[in-house]
Amino acid sequence: MSDVRYDAAVVGLGPMGAGALRRLAKDGLRCVGVGSPEPAALAGHEGVFASHYDSGRITRHLDASFEWAELARRAIADYAAIEEEGGELFHRPVGLRYAVADPRELDAIHGVLARLGDAGRGVRELDVCDDPRVVLPDGATVLAEARPAGHIDPRRMVRALLTAAQRAGATVVRDEVVAVSADGSGGGWSLRLTGGGTVAAERLLVAAGPHTDELEGLPVRPWLDVRAEAIVMGVLDDEEQDRLDGLPSLIAALAHPVYEDCYLVPPTDYPDGTVRVKLGATRRVHQELPDAAARRAWMRGTEHTIELGDLRGLVEAVLPGVRATAWETRPCLITETPTHRPYVAEVAPGLVLAAGGNGYAAKSGLAIGALAATLLREGRWTDAVLDADRFRVVTR
């Protein structure tokens, strides 16, 4: 591929990278995206990992941060178009119930909803959850967000984004970028791949998720804290699927010795043909993964199984009487920034960085990618709603 020079290259093809590639292609740039496919099995995989290897993630406008809420608004508004362009359905608008315990967070959420305008008006405040199958923590205020809140299948969303990008003219290369370098011969950037090839482009957008700070040749070392998180899933039989039909997505703060909050995705279908309910929770004490070796060991290993009992207990507390034919945990990587917002910034001439999902990016990664793509194309920040300084890159 060394004889082809693209207008723009994207490193990483998760929600952010795939969203950026679609935007660049639709804007008429000759572009290429390079990213590894999901491995058939995590154990023994030698390459990089991503955090969208899943079929259920919550989508919502509700947030105490205006930036995250606005990014979600943009993404949700684009779901239907992406489903049509990509030929794949991934959005399930079943609504959301969000249990808020901190009055300051509640006030902040209401302030953000007011700024969102029409997108923030489909929210009701409840004393208790209005779904009798659900038990949320005592003393919390329950915010009920109507559709289009609910959940998405991030695997299907990424596939739809990449199909849409290719139909708009983008090239997709299934390989891993191990190094980037400025092309001193005439400007632009060169990408070195594990397969031995290279890719050349005038401009470069890096969206490499939890492995961003491992990329050789990146001109800055962004401050990214990668931590381990485990999720639990219960496989449901037909009877339990019927009982839980129409369940909304759930988020709740917790008074728990191990976990500070949790989210629950309603029953959804998985690639193996099962239907599963899924829960994830934030540990009060984070397990940091400071380097490539630690990240790969976590994703390949079985340490996450230690949390099966505690996480299953959370599901059974939120959904009393839930019956599953099997339970299992899986590992996940959370990439956090000290600003608690994603990085979207030009870090060198013609090089834009998009990184730091902070555990929120599945639903709105495509909007983060589109924001980064516009910055790359224009060469300057042009967004009239979001402030560039809020997305600046912090370095170590």
C-alpha torsion angle, residues 32, 38, 39, 40 (rounded to 10): -130
| 161 within a domain of the structure (yes/no) | yes
- Total domains in the chain come to 2
Residues 111 and 256 in one domain: yes
pLDDT along the chain (396 residues), means of 10: 85 98 98 96 93 94 98 98 98 98 97 94 93 96 97 98 98 97 86 94 97 96 98 98 98 96 98 97 97 97 98 98 98 97 97 96 96 98 98 96
Spatial distance between the Cα atoms of 147 and 347, rounded to a whole number of angstroms:
38
Residues 258 and 380 in one domain: no
Nearby residues of 302 by Cβ (< 8 Å), 6 or more positions away? none
Nearby residues of 246 by Cβ (< 8 Å), 6 or more positions away? 94
Residues 33 and 172 in one domain: yes
| 74 within a domain of the structure (yes/no) | no
Domain termination site, one of 318, 336, 354: 336
Residues 128 and 230 in one domain: yes
| 42 within a domain of the structure (yes/no) | yes
Spatial distance between the Cα atoms of 349 and 231, rounded to a whole number of angstroms:
39
| 105 within a domain of the structure (yes/no) | yes
Closest CA relative to residue 272, chosen from 319, 217, 225, 330: 330
Spatial distance between the Cα atoms of 66 and 5, rounded to a whole number of angstroms:
38
Residues 368 and 300 in one domain: no
pLDDT of residue 51: 83
The domain that contains 326 carries what CATH number?
3.30.9.10
| 71 within a domain of the structure (yes/no) | no
Residues 229 and 328 in one domain: yes
Spatial distance between the Cα atoms of 378 and 1, rounded to a whole number of angstroms:
26
Domain termination site, one of 293, 311, 336: 336
pLDDT of residue 2: 53
- DSSP assignment string, 120-157: G-SEEEESS-S-TT----TTPEEEEE-TT-EEE-HHHH
Q: Are 203 and 8 in contact (CB under 8 A)?
A: yes
3-state secondary structure of 219: coil
Domain termination site, one of 336, 362, 379: 336
Residues 216 and 229 in one domain: no
| 255 within a domain of the structure (yes/no) | yes
C-alpha torsion angle, residues 358, 362, 363, 365 (rounded to 10): 80
Distances (CA, A) of 304 to 129, 150, 298, 396: 30, 26, 8, 29
3-state secondary structure of 199: strand
Residues 238 and 383 in one domain: no
Checking DSSP bridges between strand 198-206 and strand 57-59, what pairing results, if any?
unpaired
| 100 within a domain of the structure (yes/no) | yes
pTM reported for the whole predicted model: 0.97
Residues 241 and 327 in one domain: yes
Residues 183 and 264 in one domain: no
Residues 241 and 320 in one domain: yes
| 78 within a domain of the structure (yes/no) | no
Residues 269 and 387 in one domain: no
3-state secondary structure of 332: strand
Closest CA relative to residue 119, chosen from 82, 65, 72, 81: 72
Range of the domain at 260: 95-150+225-336
pLDDT of residue 386: 98
Interhelix angle 66-86/103-116, nearest 10 degrees: 50
- DSSP assignment string, 230-276: EEEEEE--HHHHHHTTTPPEEEEE---SSEEEEEEEEEEE-TTS-EE
The token pair that represents 233 in the structure block: 């899933």
**DSSP bridge pairs for 97:** 144, 250
